[in-house]
Amino acid sequence: MGMAELGNPTDHEADPQARLPPELLLVILHHLRFDRNALRQFCLVSRQLRSLSQPFIFEHISVGTQAPTQIASQSPCSSLYETLCQSPHIVTYIRHVDIVSPKLGPTWIARESTLPLLLTLLADAEIVRTFRLRCSSESWGDLPLELQHSIQLLMKSPSLRNLDFSGVVRLTTDVFKCCRSVERLKFSKIIVFDWDLEDRSGECFGTIKSFTSLDMDIVSVVAWMIATPSFRALRDLRIAVTHDEVNALQNLLHHVSGTLESLSLQLMIWYWPKGAPTCSISLPSLRSLRLSIGITKPCCDDDDIFHWAICFLLEQHRYKTLQHLTLDLRFEDASDPHALKWSELDSALSDVMFSALKTLVVTLFPMYPEAEPVVRLVGDELPRLLPWTAARDGFEIVRLNRPTSSFFFWPGPLEWSECEGEYEILEDGE
């Protein structure tokens, strides 16, 4: 079914006597809101279901490249733009916009002539809450000026709350001038991040409550965050670091130590070199902590990274404010899990200072097939590896069928969006 069929009424109508109450239909549609095929089928039943389904169908739109099975006469972007022009009421349903360039192959974002028109139309409506731009090999300066203008126009919309830039080869901070309504900012896979000490464009943000940085050098980003006032009241931080970036992380945590309530820290390190700095910043307002640790043979031989994580944990618990704790153990190979210092972790988790802890989640997952037996072994033996913690709280083993890329976002407060897991699954399937 094409865009036109989703936007225009069907010719047939169901028997009025067989209609369900709209309130009940809305409950059903709410449960099916992530099942695109089911929503499309609902649209074909009757005019009533079409009108009720449209807000769920068009709430999240993702514009990418032409599917191999589609007719090449019209691009997905131009097809969507034409539908919105023919049915203007649909624009009011759109809340989340995802512009996706393929990971491999030629990009389409810079060549698509209707993309600036589509983004301008959405910006004028002032209803979009989330905007994601996923590039593959473009620098911001290489994009057509008309496209740059339309993107900035959308980012300045008073309705926009969540902003996500991914895969931009080179990004400068002057892109974000006057984005005063943005509250959650996410950067990932940005090769070069440019900012000038004299550039005060960062002040054009409002108050940023949540910041995420993945798969990129954080040193220049952290320096920019510290130099601008928009991040002084940061509540939620999700960041991946290497041992070369610990000093930058420590400076950032010190900068937001009074307001930070949720921290997701992904340690992109397989071992902790002797003499490398440790992070000793205390976070008195911290309520939720997530530590993601890579486990491999060097780590088991010299357990510095595991010990570092425990020391960081102990530094935070003395304030008795930590309520939610998640430990991600990413097993890289068939290393011996018994070589890890489980007794240290067990002792830390069993400390009376963790009296405020309400939730403890330990996630285990293999990064490669050879690590799967290790994960099964640890899952079965976890109550024996952490006996004191198990005696106090008990363990419930739950196996989740989710891609590893989504684990960094699950669980935790201040969800980026209700579809975070869905977006990650779609990204893996590209």
Neighbours of 92 (CB within 10 A): 12
- State pTM to two decimals: 0.81
Residue 417 has pLDDT above 70, yes or no: no
pLDDT of the residue at 68: 46
Burial 323-351 (b: 16+ CB within 10 A, else e): bbbbbbbbbbbbbebeebebebbbebbbe
Instruction: Please write the tens of the pLDDT for every residue from 346-374.
Output: 887 777 667 777 888 887 877 778 888 88
Q: Could you tell me the two tokens for 357?
A: 């802890």
Name the nearest CA neighbour of 224 among 213, 238, 235: 213
pLDDT of the residue at 234: 93
Four-residue CA torsion sign, 407, 408, 412, 413 = negative
Least confident among 145-154, 173-182, 399-408 = 399-408
Burial degree of 45 (CB within 10 A; 0-12, 13-18, 19+): middle
Instruction: Please write the tens of the pLDDT for every residue from 185-218.
Output: 999 889 899 887 665 544 567 889 999 998 888 9
Strand runs labelled E in 143-191? 162-166, 170-172, 184-188
Q: How far is CA 59 from the centre of its chain?
A: 18
Neighbours of 162 (CB within 10 A): 19
Are 263 and 289 in contact by the 8 Å Cβ rule? The answer is yes
Mean pLDDT of 14-42: 73
Q: What is the tally of helices (H) and strands (E) in the chain?
A: 15, 13
Instruction: Please write the tens of the pLDDT for every residue from 103-121.
Output: 655 578 888 899 999 999 9
Are 96 and 60 in contact by the 8 Å Cβ rule? The answer is yes
